[in-house]
């Protein structure tokens, strides 16, 4: 595909020179955007306070707590598993049976401790 | 306080959006409205656009908003852009006085020619020459492939050359 003559493109670039926005538009737009941001922040704050007075809006935070709890439990199991894997590496497969048992005991202890922490936090 | 990232986007591209709007609609009043609406809409969808952009520049997204709003404007008003360009444009655009005097006729012929182009070709030229967008950016703004955009721009320039050189012949060819 052949390119158009460079001088014609130059002419086109000159004809379609960028247009500076008027100063009053810049000020108006900045004011509008700033006031929308402030309004949105104010509305969100007011909504959060008023929403928590209505029990119908408690479902979401409650669900978040449940999800948080589940995530915490999963995290404990994951940590225990990771620890067990790293220790398996140290033992090089020796005394695997006794290690598995101690790993499971440690995981249960971790689970109990984390669960107590979660319940205590609530 | 305006979000810092949006504020940055706004400052970086206000002139682009305004230039696009101006050459698209043909008068300063509508261009101001279109620019304002573009940034308000962009603000509403900014977070999503950031998430979906995967780090790519947001200028094509902004121009696409302006493009859609301009299309709605014409649909609502059932009219075409109010060309020719305002006389006041030349005061706002960064032309030198000398260039204005010497090249006014030639530039005005080119602008008249741009007005005669089909919408998609006109828009592609505005994006390329007024905003300095590359093919990929223009493709994203117009929702076309890079290849199709390259062809579109090439044909637009060729058609415009024909119009400016020989208006009657060029319009008969298209």
Report the CATH number at residue B163.
1.10.10.10
In chain A, which residues have their Cβ closer than 8 Å to the Cβ of B154? 1, 3-4
Q: Which of A63-67, A89-93, B13-17, B51-55 has the highest mean pLDDT?
A: B13-17
- pLDDT bucket at B102, cuts 50 / 70 / 90: low
Higher pLDDT, B86 or A28: A28
Calpha distance B133→B150 (Å, rounded): 12
Single residue among B59, B88, B117 that ends a domain in this structure: B88
Same domain, B139 and B78: no
How many A/B residue pairs have CB atoms within 8 Å?
106
The CATH number given to whatever domain includes residue B26 is: 1.10.1740.10
Task: Kindly report, residue by residue over A65-119, the tens digit of the pLDDT.
Answer: 555 444 444 444 444 444 544 444 333 433 444 445 555 556 556 556 655 555 5
Residue B74: predicted pLDDT: 73
**Residues B32 and B79 occupy one common structural domain:** yes
Q: Considering its fold, how many domains does chain B have in total?
A: 2
B37-59 b/e (C-beta count within 10 Å ≥ 16 → b): bbbeebbeebeeeeeeeeeeebb
- From B146's Cα to the closest Cα of chain A, the distance in A is 14
- Predicted pLDDT of residue B137: 96
- Say if residue B117 is in the same domain as residue B167: yes
Q: Are residues B99 and B79 in the same domain?
A: no
Residue A54: strand, helix, or coil: coil
Nearest to A11 among B43, B89, B110 (CB): B110
pLDDT at A113: 62
Statement to judge: residues B52 and B101 lie in one domain: no
CA of A27 vs chain B CAs: smallest distance (Å): 11
CA distance B53 to chain A (A): 22
Nearest CA in chain A to B126: A16
Best mutation site among A15, A27, A28 for testing chain B: the one with the most B CBs within 10 Å?
A15
Last residue of a domain, one of B57, B88, B119: B88
Q: What is the 3-state secondary structure (H, E, C) of chain B?
A: CCCHHHHHHHHHHHHHHHHHHHHHHCCHHHHHHHHHHHHHHHHHCHHHHHHHHCCCCCHHHHHHHHHHHHHHHHHHHCCCCCCCCCCCHHHHCCCCHHHHHHHHHHHHHHHHHHHHCCHHHHHHHHHHHHCCCCHHHHHHHHCCCHHHHHHHHHHHHHHHHHHHHCHHHHHHHC
* B81 φ, ψ (degrees, to nearest 5): -55, 145
Taking residues B111-116, what's their average pLDDT? 92
Cβ contacts of B99-105, under 8 Å, gap ≥ 24:
B99/A14, B103/A11, B103/A14
Same domain membership, residue B141 and residue B76: no
Expressed as residue numbers, the domain containing B111 is: 95-174
Interface TM-score (ipTM) > 0.90 = no
Q: Round to whole Å and give the CA distance between B133 and B17.
A: 12
Q: Are B174 and B108 within one domain?
A: yes
Between B170 and B116, name the one with better pLDDT. Answer: B116
Kindly state whether residues B118 and B146 are assigned to the same domain.
yes
Same domain, B120 and B72: no
Query: pLDDT tens digits for B120-143?
Result: 999 999 999 999 999 999 999 999
| Same domain (yes/no): B28, B46 | yes
Asked if the Cβ–Cβ distance from B6 to A30 is below 8 Å, we say no
Residues B81 and B139 in one domain: no
Q: Quote the percentage of chain A above a pLDDT of 70.
A: 29
**Same domain for B45 and B24:** yes
pLDDT in the model for residue B92? 43
- Look at residues B29, B61, B88 and tell me which one is the last residue of a structural domain: B88
**Residue B37: CB partners within 8 Å, gap ≥ 6?**
B69
The yes-or-no verdict on residue B59 having pLDDT over 50 is: yes
């Amino acid at each position: 595909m052949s390119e158009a003559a460079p001088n014609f493109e130059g002419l086109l670039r000159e004809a379609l020179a960028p247009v500076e926005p008027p100063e009053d538009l810049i000020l108006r737009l900045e004011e509008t955007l700033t006031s929308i941001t402030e309004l949105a922040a104010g509305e969100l704050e007011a909504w959060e306070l008023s929403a928590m007075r209505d029990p119908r809006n408690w479902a979401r935070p409650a669900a978040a707590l449940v999800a948080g709890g589940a995530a915490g439990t999963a995290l404990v199991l994951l940590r225990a598993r990771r620890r067990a894997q790293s220790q398996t590496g140290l033992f090089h497969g020796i005394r695997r049976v006794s290690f598995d048992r101690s790993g499971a005991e440690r995981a249960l202890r971790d689970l109990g401790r984390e669960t107590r922490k979660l319940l205590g936090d609530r | 306080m305006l979000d810092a990232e949006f504020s940055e986007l706004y400052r970086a591209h206000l002139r682009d959006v305004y230039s696009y709007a101006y050459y698209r609609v043909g008068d300063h009043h509508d261009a101001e409205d279109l620019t304002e609406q573009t940034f308000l809409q962009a603000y509403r969808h900014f977070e999503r656009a950031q998430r979906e952009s995967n780090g790519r520049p947001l200028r094509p997204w902004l121009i696409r908003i302006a493009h859609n709003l301009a299309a709605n404007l014409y649909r609502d008003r059932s009219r075409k852009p109010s060309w020719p360009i305002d006389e006041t444009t030349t005061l706002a655009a960064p032309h030198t006085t000398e260039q204005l005097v010497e090249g006014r006729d030639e530039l005005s012929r080119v602008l008249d020619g741009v007005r005669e182009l089909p919408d998609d070709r006109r828009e592609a030229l505005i994006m390329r020459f007024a905003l300095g967008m590359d093919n990929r950016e223009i493709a994203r703004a117009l929702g076309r492939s890079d290849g199709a955009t390259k062809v579109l721009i090439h044909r637009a320039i060729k058609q415009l050359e024909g119009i400016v050189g020989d208006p009657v012949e060029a319009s008969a060819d298209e």
